[in-house]
Amino acid sequence: MKKILIVIGTRPEAIKMAPVVKTFLNLPNEFDTHLCVTGQHRQMLDQVLDFFNLIPDTDLNVMQPNQSLSTLSSRLMDGITSVINSFNPDFVFVHGDTSTAMIAALCSFYLQKKIVHIEAGLRTYNINSPFPEEANRQIISRLASLHIAPTLNCKMALIEEKIPKKNIIVTGNTVIDALFLGLKIVENSPSRKLLEFKREIKNSKVILVTSHRRENQGLGILEICKALKIIANDFPEFQIIFPVHLNPKILTPVYEELSGLDNITLLEPLDYELFIWMMKRSFLIITDSGGIQEEAPSLNKPVIVMRDITERQEAVESGAVVLVGNKKERIVNEVRKLINNKDYYDKMARALNPYGNGNAVSEIIDLIRELDG
């Protein structure tokens, strides 16, 4: 029986790894699976675990107020090393580009464990954008034994970095598996919280907004707020829904700038259940999130990305996503274009999702079955 350690720390990791974890757990005769959460996101992580009914075997609970990346990394290394030593896995699964993923990969490398990197090969090649994620994922790629690439572009990036082709597999992105699984839960057994939330969103036309990236803190978030004020004034028939990230560098300016406006609704970060319903309900989405760039095309929602560069270039090339940066003029102009030009909107909404059809997890499981422990 192969021993599988899966390490996650943040909400995006939990979402994208939930179908992986659940599938391994549903095969107890083949795999001994241990789920370790670090708590790099606490409240937001717990919401996702609850929604997907996942119970960690280990919870390191590493986060402290105003913790530096150095302190976080140190606490992660101590905790993850202890888990690896006690469980002695054959494979350690990490996801993406978080500090949790990078430190878990480093600990696994030190202890000579095979590292499986889900969502491998994303690149901006700007080491400071996004920070520290670009550095994290490049480091993981130097350490991983198996690279699960979501797209052919990601595979080619890895090959250019001299990663052996035999160690790379293209599966699509597990976020699509998670989205379809989540929507099935929402449709078949919605929570009381979701039913109450649905009653609060009365406007038929909704623009969904999220922002959390470091590059949009400071002057960036102020520009975004100015843009949203203009949009709210120009299109009073639309309701702007903005679940605001808990980071004070986002939370404080957003509430200072946007509180009290009639058609802008500021919310606490939404549970994953509420958020995927809100994505499906929206007319368009304005975001700096990587995951939303992958999910929204499966829901036929145009996405305006408030970043200058993206590691998800496939979405831009497919026409489902447009990059505008964080300058108010570009954000406003793109929203106006999507609202006023039906042909332009329909073209974006109909773009094919380059991140797969929801079969990534089954391909990953089949691959691990074939490998030696």
Is 117 among the catalytic positions? no
Give CA separation, 225 vs 205, 232, 244, 266, 328, in Å.
Answer: 20, 10, 12, 12, 8
Q: Would you say 338 and 345 are in contact if contact means Cβ atoms under 8 Å apart?
A: yes
Side by side, which strands form the sheet with 146-149? 58-59, 31-37, 2-8, 91-95, 114-118, 146-149, 168-170
221-224 contacts, C-beta under 8 A, 24 or more apart: 221/249, 221/250, 221/253, 221/254, 221/326, 222/253, 222/257, 223/326, 223/327, 223/328, 223/331, 224/306, 224/326, 224/328, 224/331
Q: Which residues contact 197 (CB under 8 A, 6 or more apart)?
A: 274, 277
Q: Report the alpha-carbon angle 363-171-38, nearest 5.
A: 85
User: CA nearest 36: which of 2, 59, 19, 63?
Assistant: 59
Question: What is the separation, in whole angstroms, between the first and last Cα of the chain?
Answer: 9
Q: Rounded CA gap, 217 and 213, in Å?
A: 7
Q: Which residue has the tokens 């039913």?
A: 195
Q: Report the alpha-carbon angle 209-212-215, nearest 5.
A: 115
Q: What are phi and psi of 238, to 5 degrees?
A: -95, 145
Q: Would you say 177 and 138 are in contact if contact means Cβ atoms under 8 Å apart?
A: no
Two tokens at 97?
């580009």
Say how far residue 190 (Cα) sits from the centre of its chain. Answer: 22
Q: How many residues does the chain have?
A: 373
Two tokens at 148?
């699960």
Amino acid at position 55, single letter = I
Q: Rounded CA gap, 151 and 161, in Å?
A: 16
The residue annotated as part of the active site, out of 34, 41, 95, 212, is 212
Catalogue the active-site residues. Answer: 212
